[in-house]
Each structure stands twice: as C-alpha cells, then as structure tokens.
C-alpha cells in the first residue's frame, strides 16, 4: 500500500493543485445556481450540522470554493482538509486518505446542461455535499475511524459491508433532528431529486443499525427505496467502533 505523507498537499501523485483563478464566470454562476437551488430545500430539510458547517467553512453562493480558504477554517476545527484530485482514487487509497483526515475532492464544475444530473462527482457534490459535515467533531471522528477500518479490511465480504456502511451514511444518510427526519448524506445534500425521494412516500426509512446496513443491498443508478435514519452522529461513531470489532483486518 502506498504511503501517504503527513502534509496536507503532498499526499499522492493523484493529488493536484486547485487553480482557483482559472474558474470562469460561467462556472461561478453554475455553482451559485446549484447552491441557491439546494439551499431553498435544505434550510428546512437539511441537518443543522450541515447548515452550520456550510457557514463555518465559508461556503458562498456567489463563487466556487477556494479550498485553501475552506481548509484554513476546517483544519482549525477538526483537523480535516479537502485535497484536490484529478479523478477517482483506488478504493484503498481513498480510504487511507480518510484515515488521515484528508478528503479527496474533485475540483471540476459541471456544465449548465448537467445541472440536473451528473454521473460522476464534481466540486459541488464533493465540497457542498460532503465537506460541511467534516466540521462536526462527532462526524469527523466517525469518518476518520471508518477510513482506518475500510482500508485495512481483508476479506471481500467485509469490503462489501464497509462499502454499504459508507453508502447508507456518508452518501445517503438521514438523521432525526428536532422531531423530524432530515438529510445529511452528500448524495442527498447535493441532489434535489434524491433528497425529495428520501423524504417522500416511495422511500422506506428504517432505524439505523449496523446489522441492517451490513445486509442491505443497494444500486447506484436509480432512486433509493430503502434508507436508514440515525438518532445522532455519536450513533455513527459507536457503529464504526462495533464494525472494527467485526471486520477482519490486515
């Protein structure tokens, strides 16, 4: 397994530099349209942890995030950094980055024609969808512990189980807050259609348990028909500690 350095900008050859000044006016405008459209729903249906996190890391509706500015705020709170990548990393390298509180972040901006659907992540999914949660200490600890376990999982069956845990929490997680079910997973935060489905009548919302998640199959190419609701992010940390005891590690 390739070793990662401790520095925030020299992790892997796959990591690149974000040339923020190269973003065009059109790209900033697309970001703003996406931001405003999602926030209209998320003010009501988004986890307060996401909403607070978006503020404290300095996300703005009028410009694509500058990761240097985001990280200056984020690292002081939880030690996490969003680090730019040119594309997908192999799974174990991705998980290893998580174990070091480094979140691989795509820095491209979707086109105006792709605003409603994009098959691969872009900076809106990665930074708007994921990074605000990294400012929360409980979620930050959960994600780092998850990365350590996932990159050390030895058996194929355990890799599948850990993938399901990521999918039903980090990507498509729901949380109970203020007597309501709200969205926090990045796939829900960044997508109006997925979030509306998650809170609508066609999605079965089940209480979160590690066994239930480990045994729940999912498909990535359609709206989800089963999702899981946690009572708090402390529950996620307890679940990942339990997973560490049950997964065969290298």
Provide the annotated active-site residues: 125, 130, 171, 190
Task: Report CA torsion sign: 112, 113, 118, 119.
Answer: negative
Between CA 228 and CA 206 the distance in angstroms is 5
CB 14, CB 89: distance < 8 Å: yes
Asked whether 28 and 63 are in contact (CB, 8 A), the reply is yes
Taking the C-alpha atoms of residue 189 and residue 205, their distance in angstroms, rounded to an integer, is 17
Q: Are 9 and 72 in contact (CB under 8 A)?
A: no
Partner residues linked to 228 by β-bridges: 206
Give the alpha-carbon dihedral of 142, 188, 104, 207, to 10 degrees: 20
Matching residue, tokens 């480094």: 102
Shortest CA distance to 190 belongs to which of 113, 127, 109, 103? Answer: 127
Burial of 105 (0-12, 13-18, 19+ CB in 10 A): buried
């Amino acid at each position: 397994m390739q070793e990662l350095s401790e520095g925030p900008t020299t992790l892997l050859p796959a990591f690149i530099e974000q040339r923020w000044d190269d973003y065009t006016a059109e790209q900033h405008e697309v970001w703003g349209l996406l931001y405003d459209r999602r926030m209209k729903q998320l003010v009501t249906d988004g986890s307060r942890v996401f909403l607070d996190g978006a503020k404290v890391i300095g996300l703005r509706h009028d410009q694509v995030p500058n990761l240097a500015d985001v990280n200056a705020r984020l690292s002081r709170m939880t030690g996490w950094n969003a680090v730019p990548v040119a594309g997908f990393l192999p799974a174990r390298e991705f998980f290893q980055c998580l174990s070091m509180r480094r979140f691989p972040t795509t820095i491209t901006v979707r086109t105006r024609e792709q605003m409603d659907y994009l098959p691969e992540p872009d900076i809106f999914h990665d930074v708007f969808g994921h990074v605000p949660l990294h400012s929360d200490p409980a979620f930050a600890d959960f994600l780092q512990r998850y990365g350590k376990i996932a990159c050390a999982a030895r058996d194929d069956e355990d890799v599948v189980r850990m993938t399901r845990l990521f999918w039903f929490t980090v990507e498509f997680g729901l949380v109970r807050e203020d007597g309501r079910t709200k969205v926090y997973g990045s796939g829900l935060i960044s997508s109006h259609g997925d979030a509306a489905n998650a809170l609508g009548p066609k999605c079965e919302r089940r209480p979160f348990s590690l066994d239930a998640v480990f045994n729940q199959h999912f498909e990535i190419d359609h709206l989800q028909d089963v999702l899981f609701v946690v009572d708090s992010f402390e529950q996620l940390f307890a679940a990942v500690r339990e997973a560490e005891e049950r997964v065969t590690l290298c």
